[in-house]
Amino acid sequence: MKKKLFVLLGILLFVAIIFAVALPSILKSQGLHPDYDGPSYEVPNGRALIVTTSHGVLNKPGETTGKKTGVFGSELSVPYYDFKDAGMSVDVASIKGGAIPIDPDSYRYMIISDADRRSREDSKFQKQVQNSLKIDNVDFTQYDVIFLSGGWGAAYDLGQSDVLAQKISEAYYGSDAIIGGVCHGPLGLINAKDEDGNLLIAGRKMTAVTDKQINELKISFTPLHPESALRAAGVQYEANTAKKDLFATHVVVDDEGRFVTGQNQNSGHVTAHEMMRLVTER
């Protein structure tokens, strides 16, 4: 009897190990962090600015402590290397400047992206993340691309930053910059104003992480939800869905060709490449 029990336990352990080893591939096959297979672009001498959150605690209203969070790793690393590999120089800024909190869940073995692995071995990337520029001190009009990264931390400060809203408006009117982002990143657009004092993004087609995905992940207590916030700003919101929206993806270019937004962590490559396409075609 004991021998049969040990054999059964051994089989179960073997199956568990095989499943654990295969899990990253299984999740990828379902749509997580898809490889990019679209056209590539060369943007020599182009300049890209990536803006992230400075908030590193996943807390409920009134709380000061909680689980560590921040920018979702691939929502920073994927566009960073897509822009770099296209010949662009890339600056990294955040709401407060200094060290950027990266959600530790980004690096869990089953969901870490290839770009994340590359970033962890890249001393220049790490230096930029530890010494990010403060958005107050950055002239957004000097960039060809402005990419707003997401992650849970962005729900606490991107949409609440008057400075970021003003910088987005300045970039829109003072340059030809292509502006956008993924997941929670588009929250940084919701309070930007046009020249008449109206919301700049009202009436535009955009996407961001769905309320459904937020509810599925059981993190609905954050202060802003991108789908709801974009709809409230008058955006023509659109998105794709899946059994679990964690595995969905969608990218939208507005009719003017100035804003490119991606639905979630799976949308980084296409969003970055669409932004570069618009830069090369303008």
Q: What is the CATH number of the domain that holds 234?
A: 3.40.50.880
Q: Is residue 137 included in any domain, yes or no?
A: yes
| pLDDT score recorded for residue 198 | 98
- pLDDT higher for 7 or 222? 222
Q: Is residue 28 included in any domain, yes or no?
A: no
Q: Is residue 271 included in any domain, yes or no?
A: yes
- Region 92-115: what's the mean pLDDT? 97
Q: Is residue 38 included in any domain, yes or no?
A: no
- pLDDT higher for 266 or 7? 266
Predicted TM-score of the model (pTM)? 0.94
Full residue range of the structural domain in which residue 189 is found: 45-281
Any idea what DSSP says for residue 215? Answer: H
**Per the structure, how many domains does the chain have?**
1
Q: Is residue 39 included in any domain, yes or no?
A: no
47-52 and 145-148 as β-strands: parallel, antiparallel, unpaired? parallel
Q: Is residue 144 included in any domain, yes or no?
A: yes
| pLDDT score recorded for residue 18 | 59
Q: Is residue 240 included in any domain, yes or no?
A: yes
pLDDT of residue 10 exceeding 60? no
Q: Is residue 26 included in any domain, yes or no?
A: no
| pLDDT score recorded for residue 25 | 85
pLDDT band per the 50, 70, 90 thresholds, residue 62: confident
The string of pLDDT tens digits covering residues 152-187 is 999 999 999 999 999 999 999 999 999 999 999 999
Spatial distance between the Cα atoms of 167 and 148, rounded to a whole number of angstroms: 12
